[in-house]
Amino acid sequence: MKVRWTIFLFLCGFAMLSYVQRTSLGVAAQNIMPDLHLSQMQIGWLNAAFATCYALAQLPGGILGQRYGARITYTVVGVVGLVATIATPLAPVVLAGTALFIALLAAQGLLGFSQGPVFPMVAAVSQTWFPQRQWAVTNGTISLGMNIGGAMTAPLIVILTAHYGWQGALLWIALPAVLLTAAWAWYGRDTPKEHPKVTPAELADLDERDMAKPAPMTLARMRQIVVQRDVQLLTFSYFCLNYVFYLLGTWSFLYLVQERDFTGLESGFAGMLPWIGAGIGAGIGGYLSDGLATRIGYRWGYRLVPMISMPLAGLLLLVAISVSAPYAAVLALMATFFMIELNEGAYWAATMRIARSDTGAATGVLNTGGNFAGIVSAPIVGALSGAGNWNATFVIGAVFAFVSAACWFAIDPDRRVVTDRTRVSLAAA
């Protein structure tokens, strides 16, 4: 097997682990709230703390990841994420009341900061280790790993909680972080040329320009990336998509428990189904986007998937709140998440194509916008759902889905970011 596919498996592992860590709080919330005397609105603020720090860490994470390389970056991600993960179950041992809530906010914020570089670096590593024809596939399939993490979290936390309590459950999920981080620190490398097991044949399949480490980022170059029209449109569209993603990923389990009356282990498996739909969508979407791009060109190849799937996602959200049968609602949520995650490959590959060697920084901008949606959605959904207005939360999500699709009419993946460095390269050519 080519070394790049082993690197790819590590990226899938970090993506999967990141979603186990971030979604565990939402699943454990039904036990945390009565145990720690927290309200649903306070759980919303804990989710907002993660989302805020996660969004703020995207751009710095992408820039620093470009500078220091994937090997150091993912090692730091794993260590800091481990500390944040164990802080949440351990904090109630020594703290109570307001001090405990502040500590939980800090733990969720630290977890957000630790995970900020994960997906910008997924794009940067994909751009360095894989040929362009596989960029959407790699990003989409890694999102499949991410969603497998989200899918396994609900039943895993429910089962572990039954045996060890919610604190023991959260401590157990720290173990994979230790193993994955140690293995990456030993095996990972920044570029194919640095890895002793990469063969000349594998190197020959890659573009020398994409394998090169980017020059250190400057403020002028960063500004040129941020103000580029397509980067801005992709970022806003991704914000709208991720509003729906956060609605489903963070709150669907509580919706199924509170509104659809799922309980016990059944609630864990019902909560798993939307994430399974998301994982299937992410895997298929990458292949679909790359296949369309190869056949009809990158502009419309990347456009078609979100322009079709996002309106369908909006309609399916409305179906989910309209059907009476609980499992029909679960299937509608599963189909919605499928439609949402079909698009991961298209968004990330389009941004990579526009930015090329500045992929880490550009996708940092993209994911900053995407995860700003988590900051916006957490208090809105927390307040509405806490008052029992679940229908309103889903209608708002549907509106965001429609707007996300509309943005793609103006996005052109063939239009590259032009920086001072690009002009120098073109002049030399």
Of the pLDDT bands very low, low, confident and very high (cuts 50, 70, 90), residue 425 is: very low
- Can you give the C-alpha Rg of the chain in angstroms? 21
Of the pLDDT bands very low, low, confident and very high (cuts 50, 70, 90), residue 421 is: low
Residue 322 and residue 230: Cα distance in Å, rounded?
36
What is the total residue count of the chain? 429
Residue 300 and residue 412: Cα distance in Å, rounded?
8
Please state the rounded mean pLDDT for residues 382-394: 90
Q: What is the DSSP string of 165-220?
A: HHHHHHHHTTHHHHHHHHHHHHH--SSGGG-TT--HHHHHTS-HHHHSPPPPP-HH
Domain boundaries in the chain? Answer: 3-428
Residue 196 and residue 331: Cα distance in Å, rounded?
47
The full 3-state SS of 62-129, as one line of letters, equals HHHHHHHCHHHHHHHHHHHHHHHHHHHHHHHHHCCHHHHHHHHHHHHHHHHHHHCCHHHHHHHHHHHH
Q: Which of 246, 213, 22, 210 is nearest to 116 (CA)?
A: 22
Distance between alpha carbon 421 and the CA centroid of its chain, in Å? 30
DSSP secondary structure code for residue 347 in this structure: H
Q: Which of 66, 183, 72, 52 is nearest to 120 (CA)?
A: 66
pLDDT tens for each residue of 4-36: 999 999 999 999 999 899 888 878 888 999 999
pTM: 0.75
Of the pLDDT bands very low, low, confident and very high (cuts 50, 70, 90), residue 76 is: very high
Please state the rounded mean pLDDT for residues 373-388: 87
Which pLDDT score is estimated for 108?
94
Does the pLDDT at position 211 exceed 70? Answer: no
Does the pLDDT at position 210 exceed 70? Answer: no
Does the pLDDT at position 214 exceed 80? Answer: no
DSSP secondary structure code for residue 134 in this structure: G
Which pLDDT score is estimated for 212?
58
Which pLDDT score is estimated for 35?
92
Which pLDDT score is estimated for 25?
86
Residue 188 and residue 181: Cα distance in Å, rounded?
10
Among 24-38, 109-123, 204-218, 321-335, name the one with the lowest average pLDDT. Answer: 204-218
Of the pLDDT bands very low, low, confident and very high (cuts 50, 70, 90), residue 213 is: low
Among 80-84, 122-126, 186-190, 211-215, name the one with the lowest average pLDDT. Answer: 211-215
Element (H, E) at 277: helix 264-296
Among 50-59, 124-133, 378-387, 417-426, name the one with the lowest average pLDDT. Answer: 417-426
With a pLDDT cut of 90, the percent of the chain lying above it is 48
Which pLDDT score is estimated for 423?
46
Which pLDDT score is estimated for 360?
81
pLDDT tens for each residue of 337-373: 999 999 988 998 999 899 877 888 888 899 889 988 9
Which pLDDT score is estimated for 146?
80
Please state the rounded mean pLDDT for residues 203-221: 72
Please state the rounded mean pLDDT for residues 149-155: 82
Does the pLDDT at position 252 exceed 90? Answer: no
**CATH-assigned architecture of domain 3-428:** Up-down Bundle (1.20)
Residue 140 and residue 67: Cα distance in Å, rounded?
25
